Amino acid sequence: MTEARKEFAWLAAGSQTVQQQALRDFAQAMANFFAGTHRRPTWRKAGVHEGFRIVGRLGNHWDVRRLSRKVGEVRVPKVGWVRFRWSREIPGEAKSFRVKRDRAGRWHVAFAVLPPPIEGPGTGEVVGVDRGVIVSAALSTGELLSAPGLRETEAKRVLRLRRRLARAKPGSNRRKRIKTAIGRLKGRETDRRRDWVEKTSTRLARRFDLIRVEDLQIKDMVRSARGTLAAPGRHVRAKAGLNRAIHAAGWGHLVTRLEQKAPGRVKKTVPAYTSQICHACGHCAAKNRESQAVFRCRACGHVDHADVNAAKNIAAGRAVTARGALQPLGGATNRELQPALSSG
């Protein structure tokens, strides 16, 4: 890096800290790829991956100051003082910050600080969370929570803009304006979903000591159904719509924030047959769930909201094996005792 900065003036004009962090991020991305945990890193795309990171000691490499109740300034190396909207107090232990531009054209500055975990109430109360598409999160207490999205008029506008985008000439200014307009609307949807996830996860972490969720493999669930040329998939458009609905419900983000805010108090249970088990009597049958919202047990007649009934089973830690045996927390209890065989 030092030799390259001496040779190229345009490289020396930039911040050395930003360039070093970019190389470190790339090295970490390649290490994650070879470890098998992430995909191969791709080239940065203009308008999508816009931003940089500053690392150093507060006061020496960078600085921040407050100008008024809602306005602050941060000193960016090789740039100077840049104003931003002061949304919360910045702790003194912050050692880095990131400047990022989203697809809506908005610039954000985020200071890296590890917040303390949220303490539970100490009552020993347990809650089960069932995640769905129609109802984003159903609690075992009977509460039905839905992540907000775009309003009907906003969704129609996005559809019209996408049709105009398909007719726009690549590289034209008109295409850039349409993409920015779409980015602003999608940015609203992202902001609303993120705000809902933050408030919901904080509320659950404060209300309950133990939070049980389904152990869902979301990456596998949202795989495309296109298939290959030799074996094309079926119902591709329907599966694509389901994948978008799963992402819009914020399944993964909700559990991630719960684990970060309540470390050690989030337990994942086996999701198999939780929507078919009657919470009242334990009877398991596919016909118990009459519709998306109605659960009616064929054995005892218990009626409940289908998602709430599943959340109650998750809270109890219930699961069913392939043989149909109801599994309590300690494992199956209806198995025949086996003698302890010793070798030798």
Q: Which of 102, 130, 189, 304 is an active site residue?
A: 130
Which of 177, 183, 190, 179 lies closest to 150 in space, CA to CA?
Answer: 190
β-bridge pairing 96-101 and 107-111: antiparallel
Joined tokens for residue 218: 């979301």
Contact indicator for 101, 50 with CB cutoff of 8 Å: yes
The reply to whether 209 belongs to the active site is no
Task: Establish whether 307 is a catalytic residue.
Answer: yes
DSSP lists the bridge partners of residue 294 as 305
Distance of CA 283 to the CA centre of its chain: 33
Burial of 58 (0-12, 13-18, 19+ CB in 10 A): middle
With vertex at residue 303, the alpha carbon angle to CA 297 and CA 305, rounded to the nearest 5 degrees, is 110
Distance CA 75, CA 54 (A): 10
Is 63 a known active-site residue? no
Catalytic residue among 102, 189, 214, 304: 214
- In the set 102, 189, 304, 307, the catalytic residue is 307
Which residues are catalytically annotated? 130, 214, 307
